[in-house]
Chains A and B, each alone.
Chain A
Amino acid sequence: NAGVTQTPKFQVLKTGQSMTLQCAQDMNHNSMYWYRQDPGMGLRLIYYSASEGTTDKGEVPNGYNVSRLNKREFSLRLESAAPSQTSVYFCASGYEAFFGQGTRLTVV
């Protein structure tokens, strides 16, 4: 019973590089989320998807794009990474937000 699976777990990028963070859930949830966690800032919502085919901006969407590929998968893309995007990224799904293990991203 995997729940919410995020890949990769760790990543180091150079400034300007692009990458996609993957998230998949096997709980048949309609809603999915991407958060970032920074020291002293708590968990901030980047984007969310209420259902397959819909996405909406959260509190800090700038510099990110998302794709709700199907009901299971919700990906987060950084087109041109910046040091300010160094953070721990969490994907979650469901009304009470079941979280994945997180992706620790460092942009140098």
Chain B
Amino acid sequence: DQQVKQNSPSLSVQEGRISILNCDYTNSMFDYFLWYKKYPAEGPTFLISISSIKDKNEDGRFTVFLNKSAKHLSLHIVPSQPGDSAVYFCAASAAYNTDKLIFGTGTRLQVFP
């Protein structure tokens, strides 16, 4: 039972345009959400996070939006750059067990010139 889902395995975006990566979750107890970026042959690296008390968090070109009622979050990258080409994972944890971080299946983003 996949508690964190990324339904788009891949996304292709032109350089300079917006990339929107989506993530859905089923566990209503999740209250902290994170995005990671992964390049081939490397470990994932933390990108940005959001807690359930907020509906938006911004860090430079990256913004994460959270819609608790829909159990949905999204990562916006504006403007997209070729160096953003990677696999993006969303992850979630619950307040009752912040140490148990559950990941989605990932979305491969390709940014082309």
Q: Mostly helix, strand, loop or mixed at chain B's interface?
A: strand
Please state if B49 and A90 are interface contacts (CB–CB under 8 Å).
no
Say yes or no for A99: interface residue by CB 8 A criterion. yes
Considering only CB atoms, which chain B residue lies closest to A98 in the complex? B46
Please state if A44 and B103 are interface contacts (CB–CB under 8 Å).
yes
Given A33-B101, A58-B100, A42–B43 Cβ distance below 8 Å? no
Given A42-B6, A42-B89, A50-B99, A99–B45 Cβ distance below 8 Å? yes
Interface size counted on chain B using CB atoms at 8 A: 22
Within 8 A of A (CB), among B95-113: 98-106
Please state if B102 and A59 are interface contacts (CB–CB under 8 Å).
yes
Say yes or no for A101: interface residue by CB 8 A criterion. yes
Determine which of A44, A45, A97, A101 lies in contact with B42 in the assembled complex, contact meaning CB atoms within 8 Å: A101
Say yes or no for B91: interface residue by CB 8 A criterion. yes
Please state if B44 and A99 are interface contacts (CB–CB under 8 Å).
yes
Give the Cβ gap from A59 to chain B, nearest Cβ, in Å. Answer: 7
Please state if B105 and A96 are interface contacts (CB–CB under 8 Å).
no
Say yes or no for A92: interface residue by CB 8 A criterion. yes
Please state if B99 and A4 are interface contacts (CB–CB under 8 Å).
no
11 contacts between A and B (CB under 8 A): A40-B105, A43-B44, A45-B101, A56-B99, A90-B44, A96-B34, A97-B46, A97-B101, A99-B44, A101-B43, A102-B42
Nearest 4 CB-CB pairs, A to B?
A99-B43, A42-B105, A43-B103, A50-B99
